[in-house]
Structure 1
């Protein structure tokens, strides 16, 4: 049975770049509650403690400079990060024995594999997304080809691969020529309690963004092409014209920020909404509570955590009919609506419908509140631990 695990990730709270940090934190903390000793090896900055206890998890941080924005430079930065993680990990392995090394995505793949070999432990790799998916298959030239090659190597050297959706299992098996039997599906979890306002937390005044009679549409995530925000912006002018009294918020940052702002200006949307830039979790959770609708227009989406968070916050959602979003928002208009991915006109029709049909909104909110309870971190941790134990006993648990 796995009693001590080394989890390797490039981000861990309070350093948060995206959903991976939240996943690593919640999984680690739940494993600790289940009796597993978890050590997280990750990066830090000049303010970070080298070693600290966070909610029962022992976190070891390697100080790293801020990463560069250029992709070529970023890939070189990742190589140095892996070198530094490997040095720190080897020193840690001289102090402690580890039963399993659990790696998250390509950014820490090299260090994780070498550490697993050094300690003689099985390597579990969770694939949260792929470069192939992020770039719609355009991975033929560097640096995308370098990342794609690393991901292919990563899944083939791992003793077990985990993905967050059945869509991702087929995707990973297909693009990396990997037997699906080697890929376990464990959906991400959500803790509705994390989304509730904390004592002393400032309350966001909805009046900052919309009048009482106006509907407020929320778009959340990294501002990159594959998240599809350009599709949502294209849909908004017709929605505003037909529904009236509609405003929007874009919360997030990324390489497409300036392009999306320029698009909004071209479409005459500047007076109808606000780009907030990057926001922290507390602010994000407050936005779900004041929004009338969350739209997840992704062109590529391995899972769809934003949709789960919106539903857990009693905010109706519309998602693209693509990838893992199909599993988070099942068919039948029971917990949310879908639109044809990439189709701005269809998205506009669905937004107009949800903003004007109060009985539909109320029904979706009630049913979604129950639906999200099926994505439980206790279950995620139990299924993950079953994989650890299966590797150690020679009877790999096939998680479907």
Structure 2
């Protein structure tokens, strides 16, 4: 089958989890015999067209906008025009597969003009991110999501939690929504024998300090403030031999102020953006990964930590309890509770044998439930189902 995919981010342009999702899913889709053209946004000196792991990647120019929404409109205009030429000149295509509302306008237009079924992968919802809709901007995005979901032949989500959220928030019938987990390629992670482990580790902590880290976007919904509030309990229990490393960009200044107010600034390191090469090395030297989200549809960063063989502590929101099996592959704590989070982290830092068991079982779980090859086969089955249904209906 010929698939036209649309995503507003694709490596090396990485804004959130979508880039890694599409960058690892579609090579496996190609391996199954499908042809994939991916439309995405220009990035630096990256070629406007190249073949990456079998994916035909087309990067389009986007005119600057007065604000983010103006830019999104310009992006959809560029994606739509380029996609129209591609469908006209190289079609027919069997499916359009679009990722999130940001590329929804272009995907919907192409669907109607060329009469090609649309699959919508919805990675998160505006109502879920903000625990409701509280202003005109959120209502605007919600409206875009509603139409995106309505126009899709089928919807793919990353967890059973998200299936329920899409059904509730976007009014999509449950039997229109398929659950396909995110995945990971664990073989990409380095091990400590392949680099100067101690030299790299000393960039972040002393030899006798254990490293607790968070990686991801720095926003309120990610709950990093909960980790900082848990830190004083952990510092005391560990006799000060611990370092908290926060990796990512976003709302960092309020967190730095919170660390100062709590008197823990000397135990915290805010790295900002960290390139994937360094992040892979960092994960292999850390002692505990913490993801204390207040909202999380899935949590692909958890799988990254599984693959790096770092014990994981998460909150009990969204898809995280589906990914992490409590006390089997990680620790699940009460959301927005610094006391619960501190207790979970200390279980790992103070009991190395227990932590090792979590790591071993989590790594095996990657093969059992989160292999991209298996997840691509599930996605391909959805493609084939739609193709058969398409043949049975007039359009």
> In which range does the TM-score fall when normalised by the shorter chain?
over 0.9
In structure 2, the residue matched to 1:365 is 359
CA spacing shift, 1:369–1:352, aligned 2, 3 Å: same
Q: Is the Cα contact below 8 Å between 1:4 and 1:38 reproduced in 2?
A: yes
CA spacing shift, 1:199–1:150, aligned 2, 3 Å: farther
Q: Deviations over 1:69-118 (max 9, x none)?
A: xxxx2122111110111111111111111110000001100101111222
Q: Deviations over 1:232-255 (max 9, x none)?
A: 01000111012120111000001x
In structure 1, the residue matched to 2:226 is 231
Give distance in 1, aligned partners of 2:115 and 2:276: 38
Q: Deviations over 1:46-84 (max 9, x none)?
A: 52322211121111111235788xxxx212211111011
Structure 2 matches for 1:126-205, cutoff 5 A?
126-137=121-132, 139-196=133-190, 205=200
1:196 positional shift: 2.5
Q: Is the Cα contact below 8 Å between 2:63 and 2:75 reproduced in 1?
A: no
Give distance in 2, aligned partners of 1:250 and 1:44: 29
Moved more, 101-110 or 372-381: 372-381
CA RMSD of aligned residues (A): 1.9
Counterpart of 2:136 in 1: which secondary structure? coil
Q: Deviations over 1:354-398 (max 9, x none)?
A: 1111221121112112111120111111111111111111189xx
Unmatched segments (≥5 aa) in structure 1: none
Give distance in 2, aligned partners of 1:368 and 1:42: 33
1:297 positional shift: 0.3
1:307 positional shift: 1.3
1:281 equivalent in alignment to 2:276: yes
1:109 equivalent in alignment to 2:115: no
Give distance in 1, aligned partners of 2:256 and 2:248: 12
Give distance in 1, aligned partners of 2:195 and 2:381: 38
In structure 2, the residue matched to 1:55 is 53
Unmatched segments (≥5 aa) in structure 2: none
Give distance in 2, aligned partners of 1:265 and 1:220: 20
CA spacing shift, 1:362–1:110, aligned 2, 3 Å: same
Give distance in 2, aligned partners of 1:265 and 1:176: 41
Q: Is the Cα contact below 8 Å between 2:36 and 2:56 reproduced in 1?
A: yes
In structure 2, the residue matched to 1:304 is 299
Per the normalisation by structure 1, the TM-score is: 0.93
Structure 2 matches for 1:218-297, cutoff 5 A?
218-244=213-239, 245-254=241-250, 256-297=251-292
Aligned length: 387
Structure 2 matches for 1:375-390, cutoff 5 A?
375-390=370-385
1:142 positional shift: 2.1
Q: Is the Cα contact below 8 Å between 1:219 and 1:250 reproduced in 2?
A: yes
1:353 positional shift: 1.9
Moved more, 159-168 or 356-365: 356-365
Q: Is the Cα contact below 8 Å between 2:213 and 2:286 reproduced in 1?
A: yes
